[in-house]
Structure 1
Amino acid sequence: MEGYPLEQQNWKPIIEGLLFAAGEEGLKPKEIAQILQLDTREARRLLKEMAVEWKEAGRGIQIVEVAQVFQLTTLPEHRTYFEKLAESPSRSQLSRSTLETLAIIAYRQPIIRVDVEEIRGVKCERTIYQLKRKGLVKEVGRAEGVGRPILYGTTRDFLDYFGLKSLDELPPVDSIFHWTEWEQEREELYQRLGVEPQEEELEDEVAEVPLEAAERS
């Protein structure tokens, strides 16, 4: 580091930042040494020292060495809390089928569930329920006609989730959802696994959610 004598430079915060930036791939002491223009043995000494200091300080992350690569990880005793975070409706990733349903609602809103199911060709009650729990979809009114079914639309959280300022920024649907390619990939996977295509669509029909009663209220 130009302008900083090696014996005066506080390398540890820099190493911490480097490990954070490296993510799961981590860094070898040699790589850190090259970046900081240090001796490899000195880089390793600093890493080992930091690992001990963090443990003694009771920090929530740790430095571990795996196959001569150092990386930042969470503590194994906190695993339960991270599992809860991953299971949180607002944090869990969207499956392909859920994205398809969300895309239909986003581009055709306001839309009733029956119309979504007609476009997708499968039951979407459970998927829409999950999207509502995630805060990406909401009820925006009632359609005219028999039973006055619920109309669905996207939320402000939907815009935040996809980094949009408004619905006007939605790109052409074909640029995001390549339906033909997806169907071909799906059929090829079925052939390799020897699975009947109908089985995948069952995920939208199982575990029926009692929404009908709520929709009638």
Structure 2
Amino acid sequence: MELLPVIESIVFVAAEPVSPAFILEVLNGTPETGAAGEAAAEPPHLWERPVTEDEVEAGLEALLKKYQDGIYPFEVRQLAGGYQFLTKRSFYPYVRRTVVQKNQKRLSRAALETLSIIAYRQPITKAEMEFIRGVNCDYAVQKLLDKQLIQITGRADGPGRPLLYGTSPFFMQYFGINEVSDLPKLKEFEDLAEDHMDLFRQHQEQKENHGQEDAEPRQERETLLGEGTQENGEEA
């Protein structure tokens, strides 16, 4: 049996992204301890021989390339520091109608704003979130905690040592990123907003120009109608 399909089977059955370290542990096992509490010389590996970390990494890279082929409706992606099988985006509309999804309610605007602040400013206290948003964030923070999109990462050194919040591993899995640095940069949002403003200005200019073009024939018609009415009055 080859090593690649073994690694593939481990990734396939996992409900969460699996790390190379976890795969290595599955294949090689963990050192057994003897009666005296000393580690055994050889771990109970399942593979025909102990597998190295480089071999696992090479196998995962091979899986990434294998499922890029268009014949597969799914792919292996790096998420939250691990690897997981996911349906390709082009098949999402079909899968969406097939799978009964849990918790289909979308995040409120307040929750999304709070989550964005946490994602880009973490670790951050609730007071800092409220200073940025200008409103109380208790409800939004609790909702994000309930959905496991954020987590408490520690305490600040300031007075009262308030709690610090950051994004969770599930946040990265949910949004399809491998690490927080994969999030779009704020400059990208600014450029996108500027592009939208340019399109809006062009649209407004087209409307104004179109309005002026419509106004000229209308003025001509009104002038002609006025002249016609005047002539009819003179004839009468």
TM-score, normalized by the shorter chain, greater than 0.5? no
- TM-score w.r.t. structure 2 length? 0.38
Select the structure of larger CA radius of gyration. Answer: 2
- TM-score w.r.t. structure 1 length? 0.41
